[in-house]
Structure formats: structure tokens, C-alpha cells
Structure 1
Amino acid sequence: MTNSKIQNYAVGVDLGGTFVKAALVSEIGNIIFKDELPIGSEASKNTILDTIEKIIARALDKADEKNLKVIGIGLGTPGIVYEGVIFGGADNLNGWENIDLAEHFSKAFNLPVRVDNDANLMGL
């Protein structure tokens, strides 16, 4: 596949204990845009959600600037994840439990969202 045939892109998000990173990536793995925002070690659940939302919005804005078609969002998070819901186990993130992350960000951006444990996604 050549670059001229690339039509689909995705936003990948990595939530860490002190940062959120995002990338706008082509379907063949080319990184178009990278970004990083800090989160404080004592950040609340709402602050973390807002920071993730902000970094996704920035990546989507970059896609819009370049007229790129984003077809979905992937999010890696520490903790126990099942079907897009974080159930706990991320002891370094305050209140990071019982949140349907897939639904939350899908509603916010009107895109499909897939969420999994960050260690599982690193293996991909």
C-alpha cells in the first residue's frame, strides 16, 4: 500500500501515572502527530478524564487540519479492563475505577473507542 492510498487514521492514547500521550496514526503505522500532557500524581478522576479528552481533541484537530479521516480511538490504561470498563487496579491513579471509558469517549467524540490494559496493548 502506498501513502496515496491511505484513507483511514486512528488516535492512540497511552495513560500513564504522570502523563497522557497520544498519537495520530495511519492504518499502516505512520505517526502523523504526537502529543503529551502531564497529569499530577494527585490528579482526580475528572482531571484525568478531562486531560485525556483534551489530548484526543488536539489529535482530532490535527487530523481535521490535514483532512484525514479518523475511524476510531484506542486507549491503553493501567488497571483491570473488561469490555472498555476500568474496574480498578490502577493504584497510582486516584478514583480510576468503575468507569466505562469506551462509552465516555465514544459519546464525547462520536467515534468507536477500544480500551484495554496498557500492558496488553504494548504486546501488540
Structure 2
Amino acid sequence: MGLFSSQAKEQISPTIRGKLDLQLIKNSRRYGIAGQSVLLLKNNQVIYQGLQGFANLELAVPVVEEHIFSAYSVTKLFTSVLMMQLVEQGSVDVKKSIRHYLPYLPQHWQSTLV
């Protein structure tokens, strides 16, 4: 696990761990997910790691913690939620050009709408 300590100061309860493990099984059945790996961190320490299914169905290779999975479009969901939280906190003004926050972006990205 490289960058993260596997010895967390805080642990999740066995009940929550069981619910998370069950959710992985439900995801697999409901969405046809062949294999999945979930890592939950708190203060850069692992509090849960769930592995389920196969990294390779044809060869029946089970998922292990060394396998890497693509995040695909789920990052858009996280980014949009985090941005809206910043808007709610008043840290980001949606009426300002993106270049206000990232001035190195191309000039033609400067909005002329106000």
C-alpha cells in the first residue's frame, strides 16, 4: 500500500465493515462488476480495504490489493460535488471566469459574459 499506513489509529466497526463488504457483493450482482477494490482512508491511514471478484475472469485471477482499476468518469462526480461545496462555502464564485482561479489558462477561456 505504499504511501498509506495500513495500521490506522481508528478502525471502523465490524458491523460497518460487514455492510461495506456486502455492498461490494451487491454492486457486483446489480451492475455486473467483475472485480472491484475499495480503499477508505482517514488521515492517510487505511480504515477499510475491500476486494471482491476477479481481475481477469477468463483466467479466474482474483482481485488483490496490487491491482489498479481505472476511475473513468466517477472523478467528474467527485469534482463537481467538491466544487459545489466550495461554492456553498463562498470560496468559489461561479460568476467569475475560470481564469480568475487559474490565470495561466488560455486567454480565450476568459468569459465575456457577466
The structure whose residues are more often helix, as a share, is: 2
What band does the TM-score fall into relative to the shorter chain?
under 0.3
| Higher radius of gyration, 1 or 2 | 2
TM-score, normalised on structure 2? 0.27
TM-score, normalised on structure 1? 0.25
